[in-house]
Amino acid sequence: MTSIHWLDPDNPEEPFPDCSQAFEEPNGLLAAGGDLSLTRLRNAYQQGIFPWYSENQPILWWTPNPRLVLFPQELKISRSLRKSIRTLAVEIRFDTVFRDVIRACSESRATQSGTWILPQMQAAYVRLHQAGLAHSVEVWQQDHLIGGLYGVAMGRVFFGESMFHRVTDASKIAFYYLVQFLTSRQFALIDCQVRTNHLVSLGAREIPRTEFLQLVMAHRDFPDATPWPHYLPPTP
């Protein structure tokens, strides 16, 4: 087994290895170490790389092959989800409580099999949010946060990170409204990272890493001059 590339924590500008050098097993592991600075994270996402690690592990950097993605025009809405969108009295907000969303995602994962959204990860993505790169989609019901998701936007690519729900279908509703919004902004791609049945049911599919990286390179540098709104109008 080839030894893993270790990144210098004191040099956030250090280039990542070429994604073709990622391990096949574990799938997509590219590098370890480094830091979670704004510079390092921006450089990572621009190359389709993301951090994902557990407590007591070094920072691990990934670029899986194949890659699960959703093309916005391929979103699938089940009959039950469509009913929930129509009948649940919810309000959709963007970026009003980013810290609460990422914390809720962390708590949701911790009740399953542990979480990779550790305190240092939360702090790093809050910095990305403050820099205008990370965004949250929030589902509110009578001023209670009942679901949501967060991710990183670059150009016309949205890199999804995690979602949570406290009411049935709330995370799917957040995803539905995210796709509608990104479609209105002419986004080309939503990165879903790795396959889950939940995301496949919404229309996500796997593509080769080489194709994914070509799409990222083609769409990551489009300027986003219009700020993200804080509120979305309800669905008619």
Average of per-residue pLDDT across 149-169: 96
Average of per-residue pLDDT across 63-81: 96
Distance CA 198, CA 8 (A): 36
Q: Tell me if 206 sits within 8 A of 68, measured CB to CB.
A: yes
On whether both 117 and 33 belong to a single domain, the answer is: no
CATH number, domain at 21?
A: 3.30.70.3550
On whether both 20 and 34 belong to a single domain, the answer is: yes
On whether both 99 and 180 belong to a single domain, the answer is: yes
User: Which of residues 46, 64, 82 is at a domain's end?
Assistant: 64
In terms of residue numbers, what domain contains 76? Answer: 68-232
pLDDT, tens digit (0-9, with 9 covering 90-100), for 114-126: 578 999 999 999 9
Higher pLDDT pick, 89 / 211: 211
CATH number, domain at 227?
A: 3.40.630.70
pLDDT over threshold 90, residue 29: yes
- Lowest pLDDT segment from 61-65, 94-98, 136-140, 195-199: 195-199
Counting residues of the chain whose pLDDT is more than 90, the rounded percentage is 87
Number of domains in the chain: 2
Higher pLDDT pick, 74 / 224: 74
- Lowest pLDDT segment from 62-66, 87-91, 94-98, 221-225: 221-225
Reference 201, options 83, 82, 77; nearest CA is 77
Q: Is the peptide bond before 26 cis (omega within 30 degrees of 0)?
A: yes
User: Which of residues 20, 38, 64 is at a domain's end?
Assistant: 64
Instruction: Write down the pTM of the prediction.
Output: 0.94
User: Which of residues 64, 89, 112 is at a domain's end?
Assistant: 64
Cβ neighbours, 10 Å, residue 162: 22
